[in-house]
Amino acid sequence: MKQITTLISTLLFGYGWLRSLLTLCTVLLLSNTLWTLPAAAQTLDEAAAGLSSESFVAAAVRRVGPAVVRIDTERTIVRNVPDLFYDDPFFRGFFGPDTFQQVPQEERLRGQGSGFIIDGSGYILTNAHVVDQADRVTVTLKDGRSFEGVVEGADEVTDLAVIKVDAGREALPIAPLGDSDRVEVGDWAIAVGNPLGLDNTVTLGIVSTLKRSSATVGIPDKRLDFIQTDAAINPGNSGGPLLNASGEVIGINTAIRADAMGIGFAIPVNKAKEIKDRLARGERIVHPYLGVQIATLTPDLAKRNNEDPNAGIQIPEVSGVLVIRVMPNTPAAEAGLRRGDVITAIDDVPVKTANQLQTRVDRTQVGQTLHVTVKRDRATQQLSVKTAELNNS
């Protein structure tokens, strides 16, 4: 034990040069570390600053914001205003009720919405209801420039319209169009527009669901499968773009439900791509229809209906599309479709949901004959239905 202690003492104190060398190295290492600490801290600060300035929302809005426009509309209507003495019983009794006539009076109604430029030559995409029956359209850009707009075409069924402005040789910003077929539930959704007259407003949310049919949200006169989002979409946002995280347009915002708190709907941009060029040329968009009100049917739903003693009708317990109502003087009525029929196939292609049937009809031509397979009671029937043009007026 004593020998070991002597050896350790010799190593620690006998070799003074070694101890000095170790001390010097330690000092140099500490000094170098202290010198590099501020540089490392500075690098971290710069990285944090860089991250904070790279907000994907800000980048998306910088890319598209200049192309988003405010649309102001004016429409003149004529009202019959009674004479001032018409409501006075004394004058009516003295002069007679036919003496005082109603006076026609013009009144100007003003509206406001949003839109976005899709072409350098001045074409703007918006909602049809934004410019409906407008006598005058004024388009204002984010940079303050203002132009008179002309409604080149509008389609009420899809609620889409194209406006044209003449900017001369002035350059116009363009909003890049994305691919709404690639959108997934949970993706970021950025709504840009002029809600409630507040210009250049941006709201952020996510895509809540896809292919939300117009019938399920209370507008059966439309033919749309909406993108649903929780990004705030208010009156005045109508016609503005819904963006993805890259700043591409994936939808056209539309304010359609006054009671839809926290729920917004947008028309998929791919739907607009299908008809925007025809609208720009002033072409009328035709939509085929059958003339039935329909709902998705499952065997379980049919069984519960049939077990209900108060049910007005017994329906086949199969999967398909239930005919709730047949409109009079329509192709469906002429072909012999009835309330309670279950459509199971179109041209031998099975259909199991109302959306599938609607999509199948939308892809046909007006006047095309469809071979419809129907379950009626316990029998299967084949009916031929010739589509007609939907008149939305």
CATH of residue 243's domain is 2.40.10.10
pLDDT at 378 over 80: yes
Residue 197 in any domain: the answer is yes
Specify whether 297 is located in the same domain as 248: no
The C-alpha atoms of residue 319 and residue 316 are separated, in whole angstroms, by 9
Residue 343 in any domain: the answer is yes
pLDDT given at position 100: 53
Specify whether 326 is located in the same domain as 257: no
Catalytic residue among 114, 129, 225, 319: 129
- Closest to 292 in 3D by CA, of 336, 238, 252, 251: 336
pLDDT given at position 76: 83
Specify whether 318 is located in the same domain as 264: no
Higher pLDDT among residues 10 and 99, named by residue: 99
pLDDT at 6 over 70: no
Once rounded to an integer, what is the mean pLDDT over residues 81-85?
57
- Tokens at 24, concatenated: 């010097």
Specify whether 224 is located in the same domain as 240: yes
Instruction: Single out the residue in 280, 305, 339 at which a domain terminates.
Output: 280
pLDDT at 153 over 50: yes
pLDDT given at position 225: 85
Whether the Cβ atoms of residue 259 and residue 318 lie closer than 8 Å to each other: no
Higher pLDDT among residues 17 and 94, named by residue: 94
pLDDT at 215 over 90: no
Cα angle: 291, vertex 297, 302; to 5 degrees: 120
Residue 95 in any domain: the answer is no
Specify whether 253 is located in the same domain as 297: no
Catalytic residue among 159, 180, 319, 341: 159
Once rounded to an integer, what is the mean pLDDT over residues 160-172?
93
pLDDT given at position 311: 83
Specify burial of residue 270 (Cβ count, 10 A radius: 0-12, 13-18, 19+): middle
pTM for the structure as a whole? 0.72
Instruction: Single out the residue in 246, 280, 314 at which a domain terminates.
Output: 280
The answer to whether residue 238 is catalytic is yes
- Tokens at 76, concatenated: 């003149």
pLDDT at 173 over 90: yes
Specify whether 187 is located in the same domain as 209: yes
pLDDT digits (tens, 9 = 90+) for 255-300: 666 666 678 899 999 999 999 999 999 999 988 989 998 889 999 9
pLDDT given at position 271: 93
pLDDT digits (tens, 9 = 90+) for 46-66: 444 444 566 899 999 999 999
- Tokens at 40, concatenated: 């490392």
Higher pLDDT among residues 98 and 187, named by residue: 187
The C-alpha atoms of residue 205 and residue 230 are separated, in whole angstroms, by 5
pLDDT at 39 over 80: no
The C-alpha atoms of residue 191 and residue 200 are separated, in whole angstroms, by 10
Domain count, the chain: 2
The answer to whether residue 129 is catalytic is yes
Residue 153 in any domain: the answer is no
pLDDT at 175 over 70: yes
Specify whether 294 is located in the same domain as 271: no
Specify whether 297 is located in the same domain as 383: yes
Cα angle: 76, vertex 163, 366; to 5 degrees: 95
pLDDT digits (tens, 9 = 90+) for 8-25: 444 444 445 445 544 545
**Mean pLDDT, the chain, whole residue set:** 81
β strands within the chain, DSSP E: 68-81, 103-117, 123-126, 136-140, 146-155, 160-165, 188-193, 201-213, 225-229, 241-243, 249-254, 264-268, 288-289, 292-297, 320-326, 342-346, 349-350, 369-376, 379-386, 388-389
Query: In Å, what is the CA distance from 216 to each residue of 18, 189, 213, 253, 325?
Result: 86, 22, 6, 17, 16
Task: Please tell me the least confidently modeled range out of 96-110, 351-365, 377-391.
Answer: 96-110
pLDDT at 102 over 70: no
- Closest to 193 in 3D by CA, of 257, 132, 116, 117: 116
pLDDT given at position 118: 96
Handedness of CA 191, 192, 193, 194 (dihedral sign): positive
Catalytic residue among 114, 238, 319, 341: 238
Residue 380 in any domain: the answer is yes
pLDDT digits (tens, 9 = 90+) for 316-363: 889 999 998 899 999 999 999 999 999 999 999 999 988 888 888 988
pLDDT given at position 234: 79
Specify whether 265 is located in the same domain as 316: no
Specify whether 293 is located in the same domain as 270: no
Whether the Cβ atoms of residue 296 and residue 322 lie closer than 8 Å to each other: yes
Q: Count CB neighbours of 69 within 10 A.
A: 31
Instruction: Single out the residue in 254, 280, 306 at which a domain terminates.
Output: 280
Whether the Cβ atoms of residue 322 and residue 304 lie closer than 8 Å to each other: no
The CATH number linked to 380 is 2.30.42.10
| Residue-range definition of the domain harbouring residue 250 | 180-280
Residue 60 in any domain: the answer is no
Residue 137 in any domain: the answer is no
Residue 145 in any domain: the answer is no
Q: 246 — alpha (psi -120 to 50), left (phi > 0) or beta?
A: alpha
